[in-house]
Amino acid sequence: MPINPDAVGATGGPVTRSWTSKDALLYAVGVGAGLDELQFTTENTKNTPQKVLPTMAVILGGGGAPMDKIGDFNRANMLHGEQGIELLDEIPAEGKIESTGKIAAIWDKGNAAVVETISESINVDTGKALLRTRSMLFLRGEGGWGGDRGPSEKIDFPETAPSHQITYRTRDDQALTYRLSGDRNPLHSDPAFAQLGGFQEPILHGLCTYGFTGRGLLHSLCNGDPSRFKSMNARFSKPVIPGDELTISMWVDGNEALFRTTNQNNEVVIDQGICSFS
Catalytic residue (one of 81, 188, 270, 271): 188
**Tens-place pLDDT, residues 185-210:** 999 999 999 998 889 999 999 999 99
Whether 152 shows a pLDDT value over 90: the answer reads no
The type of residue at 253 is D
The pLDDT assigned to 116 comes to 96
Q: Amino acid letter at 242?
A: P
User: In the chain, how many domains are there?
Assistant: 1
Q: What is the per-residue pLDDT for 76?
A: 67
* Cβ(8)–Cβ(113) below 8 Å: no
Rounded CA-CA distance 170/109 in Å is 32
Measured CA to CA, the distance from residue 221 to residue 275 in angstroms comes to: 9
Of the candidates 61, 62, 64, 183, the residue annotated as catalytic is: 183
- Is 188 one of the annotated active-site residues of the chain? yes
Domain coverage including residue 22:
5-277
Alpha carbons 211 and 222: distance in angstroms, whole number: 15
Q: Is the pLDDT of residue 215 over 60?
A: yes
Mean pLDDT of 74-94: 90
Say which of 70, 203, 248, 270 is annotated catalytic: 203
229-247 per-position pLDDT tens digit: 999 999 999 999 999 999 9
Catalytic site residue 206?
yes
- Known catalytic membership, residue 81: no
pLDDT in tens, 1-56: 478 899 999 999 999 999 999 999 999 999 999 999 999 999 999 999 999 999 99
pLDDT on residue 197 = 80
Catalytic residue among 63, 101, 143, 206: 206
Query: CATH code at 108?
Result: 3.10.129.10
Looking at residues 213-223, what average pLDDT do you find? Answer: 98
